[in-house]
Structure 1
Amino acid sequence: MTDEDLYVDGDSARWAFGTGFTDPLHGVDQAVPEGVDAEELAACCLALGDDALVSAQRLAEWCTRAPELEEELALANIGLDLLGQARLLYARAGGADGTGRGEDAYAYFRDPEDFRNVRLAELPGGDFAFTVVRLLVLSVWRLAVCEALVAAPDPVLSAIAAKSVKELAYHRRYAAEWTVRLGGGTAESAGRLRAAWGELVTWVDELLTDRTAERLGADPAAVAERTRPELFHVLAEAGLNRPGDVSPLDTPASPVPGSGRDGEHTPHLAPLLAELQSVARAHPDASW
């Protein structure tokens, strides 16, 4: 924990751990810079925002269900981080595409085929091992993307990425620690971890070949080059590659065809969105 992670209220001497309490966009020029394609910028923000929103909703399903209260709070806070990223990204998408749509319009009033999230994020929660490994994969990959986007030509996206990097670094660490713990635990926990990776590995290619942010600074080849060894290191520490095995990421696994970036989703997204959007759609004119 560093000084910048602490918020101190001088009057009451209260403190809280967090990833920053200042507005990351304070003083940032909101105009789309010359030379930046506004349509591409909006599409990138929308896709990354959808990844974050859907992931947050899946993590919210662990409230009251996590194995320990501490882990329930940790997963909830990670979900809140992702929800905050989604809000900022949706706001930028609405500003860049000229529609002026707010974050609620993107989150609550689009149908499943209009979402552009990677399909890994929408798969049903499964057990704790599945949730941990999915969080590991998404965090390592998303961190690599956001680190690249810190240098994005759009100052707003750059500021959002810089804020997200701090949060995602914690998400990655949390997921990595639990992955290694489960892999080195009992035969039951190790078996569940291996089963989780077996379910998830066929969806990883969609992330490693994603070109959504390519023209804004996140080259997919560079992102994959960063993602693969980090995942391999954690999976190796967890015992998922036995002596003589190839990297778990190099194990032949046929990628699932299609792409969430093109609006092609699993049957699991629609019920997830129905639950997420039900109140807002029942009361579309309400103020929250």
Structure 2
Amino acid sequence: MKRFDDTTELLLQLGDSAMIQAQRLCELVGGAPALEEEVALMNVGLDLVGQARNWLEYAAERIGDGRTADDLVFLRDQGEYRNLLIVEQPNGNFAMTMAKQFLFDAWHYPLLEKLCSSSDEKIAGIAAKSLKESSYHIRRSSEWIKRLGDGTSESHERMQSALDKIWHFTFELAKPCELFKTLDSSGIAPGVNDLCSDWHAIISKTLTEATLMQPEAADNNYLSGAKGLHTESLGFILAEMQFLQRAYPNASW
């Protein structure tokens, strides 16, 4: 697996995570529990597609081998993707969809806040633009966690079950990352070594208000999105997402 410089690896992780999360949300077209929720989920998905394009365009510029953001999305294999493992997991029911979104948002929002102070002007600019959208994302997803967790006995049970099932993928969110340690000291991503404590604080506060039990800390395993070691779920996503471009190379509307 080819590895790029740390800054480019960060751009790929941000772009890939946003893209795969957006792809999962777009799978819910026609399948959300209510029309209003379908529109809201699609809006979040579209926000993330826009963010992914910004991050990946800059990544392609830094890689400098002629590839575009579209090439990075549609022509890389599973092992070349750097997205968080949690975003590639299936949507499941609405409780699972919102649990995944919230756990991602609780990592994504404080990360973007810190990147607004990056010594790299392009990263700071993309982060500032993305932060406005992500402030809505985390507000919305946390409200659903509380609404379902502190709702009826059935909604509480479903939300607790969703958290318990998806929680083991939070090890990438809840513990320091080697990449972030380097980028923090260089000023590219200042303060990211505190990201894990920020994530824990958001999670703890929201789950307490939602009357939900926080599972025990997830253990690391051999998988790592940052290293291109993914679950089989990503392969299924890419098979669908990349089909047209691979079947008809360079096709355009």
- TM-score normalized by the length of structure 2: 0.92
> In the TM superposition, what is the alpha-carbon distance from 1:210 to its structure 2 partner?
2.9
> In the TM superposition, what is the alpha-carbon distance from 1:212 to its structure 2 partner?
3.6
The answer on 1:259 being equivalent to 2:224 is: yes
The answer on 1:145 being equivalent to 2:117 is: no
Q: Report the more deviating stretch, 102-111 or 276-285.
A: 276-285
Work out which of the residue numbers 174, 177, 200 in structure 2 matches 1:210.
Answer: 177
Matches within 5 A, 1:101-116: 101-116=67-82
In 2, Cα distance between equivalents of 1:83 and 1:93: 15
Amino acid at match of 1:62: L
In 1, Cα distance between equivalents of 2:12 and 2:62: 10
Q: Kindly tell me: are residues 220 and 202 of structure 1, through their superposed partners in 2, closer, same or farther at Cα, counting changes over 3 Å?
A: farther
Work out which of the residue numbers 195, 204, 219 in structure 2 matches 1:232.
Answer: 204
Q: Kindly tell me: are residues 267 and 218 of structure 1, through their superposed partners in 2, closer, same or farther at Cα, counting changes over 3 Å?
A: farther
> In the TM superposition, what is the alpha-carbon distance from 1:137 to its structure 2 partner?
0.9
Q: Report the more deviating stretch, 194-203 or 167-176.
A: 194-203
In 2, Cα distance between equivalents of 1:55 and 1:127: 15
In 1, Cα distance between equivalents of 2:194 and 2:32: 35
> In the TM superposition, what is the alpha-carbon distance from 1:252 to its structure 2 partner?
4.6
- Asked if the contact 2:8/2:62 (under 8 Å) is kept, the reply is yes
Q: When the two structures are aligned, how many residues end up with a matched partner?
A: 244
Q: Report the more deviating stretch, 39-48 or 77-86.
A: 39-48
- Asked if the contact 1:145/1:223 (under 8 Å) is kept, the reply is yes
Matches within 5 A, 1:263-274: 263-274=228-239
The DSSP-based 3-state class of the residue aligned with 1:258 is: coil
> In the TM superposition, what is the alpha-carbon distance from 1:279 to its structure 2 partner?
1.1
Q: Which has the higher contact order (CA 8 A, sep 6+)?
A: 2
- Asked if the contact 2:114/2:192 (under 8 Å) is kept, the reply is no
The DSSP-based 3-state class of the residue aligned with 1:170 is: helix
Q: Kindly tell me: are residues 286 and 134 of structure 1, through their superposed partners in 2, closer, same or farther at Cα, counting changes over 3 Å?
A: same
In 1, Cα distance between equivalents of 2:207 and 2:128: 27
Work out which of the residue numbers 120, 123, 130 in structure 1 matches 2:96.
Answer: 130
In 1, Cα distance between equivalents of 2:100 and 2:65: 33
Q: Kindly tell me: are residues 85 and 213 of structure 1, through their superposed partners in 2, closer, same or farther at Cα, counting changes over 3 Å?
A: farther
Matches within 5 A, 1:1-288: 39-208=5-174, 209-214=176-181, 215=183, 216-241=188-213, 248=214, 251-288=216-253
The DSSP-based 3-state class of the residue aligned with 2:159 is: helix
The DSSP-based 3-state class of the residue aligned with 2:5 is: helix
> In the TM superposition, what is the alpha-carbon distance from 1:200 to its structure 2 partner?
1.9
The DSSP-based 3-state class of the residue aligned with 2:23 is: helix
The DSSP-based 3-state class of the residue aligned with 2:232 is: coil
**Stretches of structure 1 lacking an aligned partner (at least 5 in a row):** 1-37, 242-247
Amino acid at match of 2:128: A
Higher CA-based Rg: 1
In 2, Cα distance between equivalents of 1:220 and 1:145: 7
Q: Kindly tell me: are residues 205 and 219 of structure 1, through their superposed partners in 2, closer, same or farther at Cα, counting changes over 3 Å?
A: farther
Cα deviation, 1:192-214, whole Å, max 9, x if unaligned, reads 10011101221112123334444
Amino acid at match of 2:204: F
In 2, Cα distance between equivalents of 1:170 and 1:48: 18
Q: CA RMSD in A?
A: 1.5
Amino acid at match of 2:41: L
Query: Identity, % of aligned pairs?
Result: 37
Partner of 1:11: none
Amino acid at match of 2:227: D
- Asked if the contact 1:211/1:219 (under 8 Å) is kept, the reply is no
The DSSP-based 3-state class of the residue aligned with 1:63 is: coil
